[in-house]
Structures are given as structure tokens and as C-alpha cells.
């Protein structure tokens, strides 16, 4: 995986937990946060890190997941956060990450990973270990780096990547002294040399556009994987996948005998945890915390997230074609009220989440949403709708040319907090004359419905894999990237992103330019950030090195080796 952001259904339960750069990486207290006199502590990271010698060999772990997604190629534009979670367990983790966002090589895969400047151009050298081999027997070598670059550098060659950021700045990939060495040369000095190939590479077989886009639909293709685990059982119809130790693995022995993931909606997952059927579950709402409060033999882990809850409208739909209607929709939203509902009973607060590029705790952050002109202002929203020609009908809902200003907002959860948030939004929009129809759908329909734009308003989680915010600016705000489907992106803005942001080689200056341009982009009113939030999980006591995958979890920006997940002795 290379992406900075991956989407997921808006999950207040904490299933899509994330990370924090630049904070202490202590493991936290495991405080239950159950409403007692002492406020619950949200640590930077809280994932029960343990050395391998503290763990016992063997055992099984069962996890819930929002869905077993249709697209199982984690580099593909239709991939979701769930795809990334599953990929981490059977695809190569060639690069890992400390909780503070510092990347380092996985020694089982790489003998060398270095960055230098050669003749004014950034150059990265990867040297794979002699033993590094794909499950089908193909040597893991420079062809993996080459294939990953070619599949992700452009949308013009038939591939549908999640993002081209970083990869499109590469001039060439060449074999070094032996096939085991790949030399990556950028077109010039590159501001974010540690970004590309950050947590993965693809099998050379996927260098074909058709295979890249379609071969892994409902098929994990374990033979194209490599690592301590491999696929044991896969059943798309039952939303189930299990992993077993890989007899072709050459590194540290995996601690577990079996790892399973089962697709579950919000209520099913909490019931399964209470019944002992799964070993970890998100409890990021007051209701879910209360349901596990009296359970014995569990620990509550609370960590900060680097995720953004965002609200998006589809400007390609006639209701939102006018920018004034889009602005009115967002200005009718009381974000502070939404936060109160989301975090009711969690003892949690945070600074405004006014950017999708940086988090408020990162150097260089500014509130781009505020700079774009956002504020909660019902009268201003009404005035904008008047200017757009939408007049109030007898029922209070606005009309134009005989058509009601009515929009569909699907939610993919039966969680009470999620429903309360949707109903709150519905009430806020009705106050300015916009009818929001809330449609509750199964969680396993999220990726399909989002990618096909089967919505007028969408609530999402954008999850971040690393602290290099500006490096991934295009993934959110360029056309045809598949993540932002608001329809407000333009070729003109694509050019400005390239000229005014990506062309800057200094990372601090590039970040400042990105923050400035982000305020202009928000002023097109296609999407806005609402909040970040905590990650809170209930976990069976003794489970260690939690959430090793990118994009999810309790370990900040951490990407831990999956072979180290296990049970304490």
C-alpha cells in the first residue's frame, strides 16, 4: 500500500482507527473510560506493544471487519480501508513504520533501502534479500518495484490506481548490479523521498492493466502474495477470510496458528464480542462502551486517530449543481453539535479539524475550512438558497421549477450514534429548507454504492497512512482519483496543484502552498472535514501488538509486522 488516504464508511464505532505524528508513543493506561470520577485518558498510541519473547506460540485471533470488499487489490482505485487491512496479512510489508511515522525497512524483505541525491535528482535504492520470494516462486526483485511504479504512475495507461502521487514524479526504475536491486530515479529532487512504496509492492503479474483492475475482484490470489501468513479460506458470499502460517515464509515465525476476519455490521460485531466470537471490537460510542462495561477479561484501549470524518455532496446531481446550494448545505451544519453527538460519553475533545492535508497537531496546520469562509450560519444558508432561486414551499422544503430540494444520504450502520448523527443533519438541513432522506443500508454495500455514486450526500472516513500530508494532495483534489467523488474537481485545478504545490522541492514550503490552495478548493463546496476523533477498542485481555495494518488501529502511524501479533504468555 502506498496511499496517504483510504476511504471507509463513516464508522463511529472506531472500526477505522488511525494515528498521530509527533506525539509520545507510550502505550496508555487501558482505562475503561466508563463514566467514573477520573476522566478517560486518550493516549497517543495504545496497542499493547510486546516483544516476541513475551508472547506464546500458537492460538487463534478472530477480528470483525466492515466488509470483505469486492476489490482485493489494495492499490486499485476501488479498494477500501478494509482491502488494506486484509492485504497486510498476506501481502509483503517491505517497509514498516514506527508509531510516530518514522519508516524503516522490514529486514526479512530488504537488505538495503537508502535515499540519496545523484546529479540533482532524488534516487532510492532497494535491495531485496536473497530469500525474498513471492508465493508462486517468482523471486522478489527489481521487477516488483518496476511493476508497482508502472501501475501507479498514471491513469492514462489503463490502470486504475488509488493515487499517482509520488509515482508520477519517478523518471525511471532500473535493475542494479543484480536483479535483486532496484534503482529508482526521480525526475528532479523530490520533497518526500520516503513516501513511495511505503508499505508495499505488487507482484509483477499485476503490471497488466486488465489484471490490475479486475483479477482480484472477489479473488485474493494468494499466489501473488508473500509473507508470514497466506490465505487459508476465502468466502465472498459469507464475508469471511482466514489466514494460516505460510510454509514458504523465510522470516520470523508468525505467532498465531490462525487469523480470521468476518464482515459484520455494527450491532453484529458488538454482539459477537460479547459472545466471545471475536477478540476485538470498536467501542467508540457511549452505547457501545456501556455494552462492554461489565465484561471481565477485557481491556479498553484508547488512542488518538489520524482520520477525518468528512461530508461530501455530489455536484454532478442537479440538486447540487449550483455552488450556492452546496455552500448553503454546508453552512447549515453545526459541526460542534455533530461532535457532541459523536463523542457523547467519551470524555474526548479536539481542536477544529479544518484540513484534510494536515491534522491540527502537525506543524504547518491552518484551518483551511475557516479560511474558505465556512461557519455555521443558518441565515446565510437561507440567503444563498434564495439567490439560487430555491423558494420555500408550504411544507418548508424549498422548490425550483416544480422540483423539491430533496437529497439522499445513505448511512451504512445501524449504530444508534450513527443514526443520531444522521437525524441531526436531517434536522439542521430542514431548518434551511433542504429535505435530507436518510437511507440505512448494509455495511457491506458501502464500497459498491460509493464508487457508483449511489448517493447525493456521503459521509466518509479518510484515513491517513503517514505524516507526509502535502505529498498526497493530488489524491484528494485531482480529477479521476476515485477518492473524492464530489465532482467539483477541474483540469484547471489539477494544473494549479502541479504548478503551485507538487513542483516545490522543499517539504515545508510545499506544505504551506498546499494549505493555501486547500482553502480555495474548499470554497468550491464539494466536501468539508467535520472532525477526527479517538479510536476506542475493547480487546480480549492478553492480545498484543494490536492493529498492525496501515490505516486502522491503535498504534498511531504505526505499521507493525503482522508476524508479531499474538497472545501474551
pLDDT one digit per residue (tens) for the chain, 569 residues? 334 455 555 433 222 222 222 222 222 223 333 333 344 677 778 999 999 999 999 999 999 998 999 999 999 988 888 999 999 999 999 999 998 888 999 999 999 999 999 999 999 999 999 999 999 999 999 999 999 999 999 989 999 998 888 899 999 999 999 999 999 999 999 988 888 888 799 999 999 999 999 999 999 999 999 999 999 999 999 999 999 999 999 999 999 999 999 999 989 999 999 999 999 999 988 899 999 999 999 999 998 888 899 999 999 999 999 999 999 999 999 999 999 999 998 988 888 999 999 988 788 999 999 999 999 999 999 999 999 999 999 999 999 999 999 999 999 988 888 999 999 999 999 999 999 999 999 988 888 899 899 999 999 888 787 888 898 898 889 987 777 899 999 999 999 999 999 999 899 999 999 999 999 999 999 999 999 988 999 999 999 999 999 877 798 888 999 999 999 99
Nearest to 309 by CA among 160, 166, 455, 425: 425
Instruction: Provide DSSP, 159-200.
Output: --BS--TTGGGEEEEEE-SSTTEEEEEESS--S-TT-TTTT-
What kind of fold does domain 1-569 have according to CATH? D-Maltodextrin-Binding Protein; domain 2 (3.40.190)
Give the number of other CB atoms < 10 A from CB of residue 390: 26
Specify the pLDDT at position 43: 78
Q: How many whole angstroms separate alpha carbon 546 and alpha carbon 554?
A: 7
Residues 343 and 338: their CA atoms lie apart, in Å, by: 9
pLDDT of the residue at 5: 53
Q: Which three cell numbers stand for residue 253?
A: 515465525
Nearest to 164 by CA among 484, 561, 478, 559: 478
Radius of gyration of the chain (CA): 23
Other CB atoms within a 10 A radius of the CB of residue 318 amount to 12
Residue 162: the pLDDT is 85
CA distances from 74 to 220, 302, 422, 555, 562 (A): 10, 27, 30, 20, 17
Pairing outcome for strands 60-65 and 258-263: parallel
Calpha distance 203→322 (Å, rounded):
45
Cross-strand pairs, 52? none
CA pair distance 487, 317, nearest whole angstrom = 9
> Please, are residues 284 and 534 in contact by the beta-carbon 8 Å criterion?
yes
Nearest to 518 by CA among 305, 338, 310, 304: 310
- Please state whether the predicted TM-score (pTM) of the whole model is above 0.85: no
Q: How would you class 400 by CB atoms within 10 Å of its CB: exposed for 0-12, middle for 13-18, buried for 19 or more?
A: middle
Amino acid at each position: 500500500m502506498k496511499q496517504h488516504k483510504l476511504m471507509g464508511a463513516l464508522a463511529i464505532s472506531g472500526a477505522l482507527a488511525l494515528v498521530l505524528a509527533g506525539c509520545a508513543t507510550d502505550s496508555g493506561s487501558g482505562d475503561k473510560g466508563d463514566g467514573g470520577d477520573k476522566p478517560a485518558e486518550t493516549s497517543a498510541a495504545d496497542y499493547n506493544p510486546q516483544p516476541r519473547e513475551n508472547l506464546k506460540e500458537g492460538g487463534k485471533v478472530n477480528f470483525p471487519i466492515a466488509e470483505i470488499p469486492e476489490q482485493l487489490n489494495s492499490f486499485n482505485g476501488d479498494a477500501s480501508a478494509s482491502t488494506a487491512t486484509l492485504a497486510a496479512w498476506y501481502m509483503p510489508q517491505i517497509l514498516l513504520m514506527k508509531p510516530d511515522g518514522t519508516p524503516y525497512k522490514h529486514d526479512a524483505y530488504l537488505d538495503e533501502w537508502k535515499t540519496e541525491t545523484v546529479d540533482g535528482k532524488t534516487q532510492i535504492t532497494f535491495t531485496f534479500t536473497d530469500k525474498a520470494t513471492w508465493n508462486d516462486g517468482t523471486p522478489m526483485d527489481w521487477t516488483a518495484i518496476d511493476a508497482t511504479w508502472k501501475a501507479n504512475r498514471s491513469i492514462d495507461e489503463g490502470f486504475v490506481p488509488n493515487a499517482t502521487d509520488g509515482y508520477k514524479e519517478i523518471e525511471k526504475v532500473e535493475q542494479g548490479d543484480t536483479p535483486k536491486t532496484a534503482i529508482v530515479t526521480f525526475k528532479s529532487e523530490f520533497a518526500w523521498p520516503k513516501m513511495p512504496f511505503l508499505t508495499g509492492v505488487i507482484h509483477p503479474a499485476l503490471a497488466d492493466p486488465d489484471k490490475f483492475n479486475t483479477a482480484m475482484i472477489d479473488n485474493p490470489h494468494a499466489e501473488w502474495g508473500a509473507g508470514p501468513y497466506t490465505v487459508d479460506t476465502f468466502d465472498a458470499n459469507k464475508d469471511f477470510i482466514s489466514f494460516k502460517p505460510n510454509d514458504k515464509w523465510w522470516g520470523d515465525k508468525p505467532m498465531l496458528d490462525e487469523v480470521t476476519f468476518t464482515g459484520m455490521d455494527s450491532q453484529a460485531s458488538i454482539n459477537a464480542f460479547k459472545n466471545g466470537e471475536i477478540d476485538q471490537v470498536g467501542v467508540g460510542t457511549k452505547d457501545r462502551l456501556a455494552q462492554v462495561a461489565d465484561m471481565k477479561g477485557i481491556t479498553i484501549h484508547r488512542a488518538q486517530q489520524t482520520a477525518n470524518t468528512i461530508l461530501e455532496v455530489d455536484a454532478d446531481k442537479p440538486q447540487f449543481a449550483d455552488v450556492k446550494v452546496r455552500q448553503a448545505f454546508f453552512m447549515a451544519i453545526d459541526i460542534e453539535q455533530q461532535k457532541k453527538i459523536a463523542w457523547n460519553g467519551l470524555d474526548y475533545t479536539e481542536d477544529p479539524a479544518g484540513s484534510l492535508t494536515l491534522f491540527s497537531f502537525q506543524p504547518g496546520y491552518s484551518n483551511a475550512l475557516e479560511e474558505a469562509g465556512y461557519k455555521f450560519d443558518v441565515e446565510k444558508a437561507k440567503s444563498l438558497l434564495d439567490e439560487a432561486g430555491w423558494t420555500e414551499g408550504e411544507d418548508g422544503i424549498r422548490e425550483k421549477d416544480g422540483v423539491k430540494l430533496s437529497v439522499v444520504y445513505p448511512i451504512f450502520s445501524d449504530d444508534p450514534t450513527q443514526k443520531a448523527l444522521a437525524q441531526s443533519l436531517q434536522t439542521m438541513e430542514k431548518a434551511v429548507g433542504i429535505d435530507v432522506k436518510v437511507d440505512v443500508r448494509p455495511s457491506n454495500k458501502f464500497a459498491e454504492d460509493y464508487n457508483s455514486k449511489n448517493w447525493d450526500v456521503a459521509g466518509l472516513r479518510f484515513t491517513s497512512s503517514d505524516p507526509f500530508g502535502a505529498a498526497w494532495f493530488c489524491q484528494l483534489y485531482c480529477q479521476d482519483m476515485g477518492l473524492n467523488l464530489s465532482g467539483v474537481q477541474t483540469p484547471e485545478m489539477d494544473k494549479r496543484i502541479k504548478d503551485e504545490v507538487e513542483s516545490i522541492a522543499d517539504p515545508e514550503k510545499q506544505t504551506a502552498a498546499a494549505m493555501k490552495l486547500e482553502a480555495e478548493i474548499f470554497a468550491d463546496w464539494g466536501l468539508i472535514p467535520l472532525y477526527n476523533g479517538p479510536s476506542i477498542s475493547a480487546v480480549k485481555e492478553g492480545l498484543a501488538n494490536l492493529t498492525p495494518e496501515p490505516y486502522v488501529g491503535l498504534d498511531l502511524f504505526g505499521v507493525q509486522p503482522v508476524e508479531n501479533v499474538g497472545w501474551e504468555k
